[in-house]
Amino acid sequence: MTIEQAQQDVDQWIKTVGVRYFNELTNLGILMEEVGELSRLMVRKYGEQSFKESDKNKDLGDEMADVLWVLLCLANQTGVNLTDALQKNFEKKNLRDADRHLNNKKLQ
């Protein structure tokens, strides 16, 4: 699935099963909630916090997909083509950071 197809599929789902999009600010809040859930799982799996019983069966991929879903919603609502935006972001990073990380002694 491409990013473009994902945007289209989310849009179709929202307009049929989901009835309509939540407004942009509501979706921004939902995105923050989903990022928090991902963070909670990551700090337990890769960090020093111990798992609570309620966290033990959570799936990292599912939590990431929840974040992506809401980001795709926000892109659709605001008219952002994420394929184009990501390509421009690569171009920006390739220009700005061409030597930055290679010359970072902390990474060597």
State pTM to two decimals.
0.89
pLDDT at 52: 86
Q: Which two three-digit tokens encode residue 80?
A: 């952002």
Q: Which ranges constitute the DSSP H helices of 17-54?
A: 24-45
- In this prediction, residue 101 carries a pLDDT of 85
Q: Which of 25, 48, 51 is nearest to 60 (CA)?
A: 51
What whole-number distance in Å separates Cα of residue 9 and Cα of residue 4?
9
Pair of tokens at residue 67: 């974040």
CA atoms of 19 and 32, how far apart (whole Å): 22
CATH for 3-81 is 1.10.287.1080
* Both structure tokens of 82: 């994420």
Q: pLDDT band for position 100 (50/70/90)?
A: confident
The string of pLDDT tens digits covering residues 13-69 is 999 999 999 999 999 999 999 999 999 999 999 999 999 888 889 999 999 999 999
